[in-house]
Chains A and B, each alone.
Chain A
Amino acid sequence: MAKPLSKPSKRKVKELPKDKPFFPDFAMFELLVGLILVVLLVIAALIWPGVAGPAADPAGEGKPESFIFHGFHTLPGWLVAVGIGLATGFVILLFFIPRLDPGDRRTVKAKRVTAVLGGLFILGWLGLYAAYGFFAVPQGSNNTPGAEWGLCYRCHGYWEGPRNPLGIAARGAVPDSNCMTCHLDDPRLVNYFSHAQERVTAEGEKIPAGLFPGVHRCSDCHNPHAPKADAVTPGPTRLDRMRAGGDRYVFDYRRTPADETHPSLPMSTCFRCHEFGFRRGGAVEVYRQFPDMRMVGEHPPLGSRGCLACHDELTETGAGGVNCLFTEADGDVHGLYGVQGADCTACHTVTVPGE
């Protein structure tokens, strides 16, 4: 090494970094960063453990349904084709980058490729975001609050259980508390018991008094997926959908006029509006009509049978409640429970007039 001509400076000369073996420094650094990453993943999972929405095909019939469709469904076909073409072109372009930018140095051509690719990348993401945001349209509706993808949970929650991130115990129907998070500014809805008095709709239909927390829910009558006007007064379209069984996710079984047939609904939903006669409400009327058929205790076990297996469809509405009339098959009721010939007093008390 040649001797320097000038006197060496007292300043410390910064040494050029040298190659270092992979182990231990670099390996340990990677390990440390990897461990930090894993810890961060665990923390993220603790705070927000991940979600999933209501089942698309709960019956397993191979016919899944969705109440909100997003993105491609609402775009014109040619636009989707162009988008797919661009996306495919982008991926193909990635493969050819080494060929487009040969040599050892970064050329002007390579810089242009960088700019074009960067632009495509950003435009692609923006396009995807636009497709899923701006073109999100709930099926058969245009008024669902928070219709954007991922916001369904604001009303519906996900499943009942301790690990529900929002603590919402609702899978299908929406609890009133969720409605009130948005509707508190509406003076008509501030007080739940604003429905405590009988009301008459614009169509002259009577809405009976007496809504009970825990029994009746806002979504029993109001459809949050429907346009605003229909959300209060259901239109024929919604009734048609109910009859067709298409309104599976919103229980909208507002009491229908006497000449309407009842929509097909899960048995559990009957109990939400129709209390058993022997429990309360309509009990007095039932007892009056059938004084010697008073039942003791609870309703016999239903098994997989629905209400309509024994009881007639809704035939009458009014302030006095709904009569759950037996169908023509009432003669088989005892057969259904296998008690024919058994002691009647096991289930029924006998009222002796005058006692």
Chain B
Amino acid sequence: MSEATRKKIGDSRWLKWLDERLRVKRWVVEAMRKPVHPWARKWYYCLGGLTLVTFLVLVVTGLILLQHYRPTPSGAAESIGYIMNDVWLGWLVRGIHHWAANVMMVLCVAHMIRVFLTGAYKKPRELNWIAGVLLLVTTVGFYVSGFVLPWDQRGFEIASAIVGALKQIPLVGDLLAGIVTSVTPVGGEALGFFFDNHVIVLPLVIFILLLFHFVMIRRQGIAEPL
């Protein structure tokens, strides 16, 4: 697409209409013209964008699953069975959610390795690297808490393993384990903890981090590899 086409889009009626109300034309045109350096036009520079795609897929499928999921010790596993067997295409939505979660973890780590190997964390991008590490930790939080939610044998084992591991931390172990569940061994309270984090706390955190991450990428551009 040529410069003329870009100009055509920039002069389009719908963009003018939107610009009169939201003043967005400058952002759109600037975003379209943002230069992409030759070294960044490689497949492994798409890993970050693909991670975002899987995240969006997870948001959409997660919202659909949330309509039918019951976060109670007695109802969780049953509602998963309901989603899989009775909800129209519920099995497919849950399957996509399941796979997207796994793929997002892989892409997230792969993206981080690419950033690490190309030295993209160096000055002036240190803060963006830290945001990336926090995003990785948040993603792991999503991943682990998501496994607990069906409250089946595996979910219960993971919750037990997490609480058991937390207890091993010197001095503060019991306190941290107590935050997850006040009952030993792990009881139904743990399900509530992981559900709250999966659908409320972690989404808020990841939204703020992603916003920061993208704004920084936009401002600083893609780093030249070392």
Contacts and interface: CB of A to CB of B under 8 A. Distances in A.
A77 B168 contact: yes
Contacts of A103: 122-123
A34 to B, nearest CB: 4
Given A33-B46, A56-B151, A163 B53 contact: no
Interface string A61-74: 11111111111110
Contacts of A106: 119, 226
A71 B158 CA distance: 10
B129 A98 contact: yes
Contact of B32 (A22, A58, A149): A22
Interface stretch (B95-103, B195-203, B206-214): B95-103
A130 to B, nearest CB: 14
A161 to B, nearest CB: 3
The residue among A27, A37, A50, A77 with the most chain B CB atoms within 10 A of its own CB is A50
B85 A162 contact: yes
B174 interface: no
B122 A22 contact: no
Contact of A91 (B73, B94, B137): B137
A62 B170 contact: no
Given A20-B36, A163-B85, A41 B123 contact: no
Interface string B107-138: 00000000011010111011001100100110
Contacts of B164: 72-73, 80
A56 B77 contact: yes
Given A21-B33, A84-B165, A64 B74 contact: no
B78 A68 contact: no
A20 B41 contact: yes
Interface of A: 16-27, 29-30, 33-34, 37-38, 41-42, 44-46, 48-50, 52-73, 77, 80-81, 84, 91, 94-95, 97-99, 101-106, 110, 114, 117, 149-150, 152, 159, 161-163
28 contacts: A17-B38, A21-B33, A22-B36, A25-B36, A37-B50, A41-B100, A42-B96, A44-B95, A49-B84, A49-B91, A49-B95, A53-B150, A56-B156, A58-B74, A64-B151, A64-B186, A68-B153, A72-B165, A73-B161, A94-B133, A94-B136, A98-B121, A101-B119, A101-B122, A110-B119, A150-B154, A159-B85, A161-B81
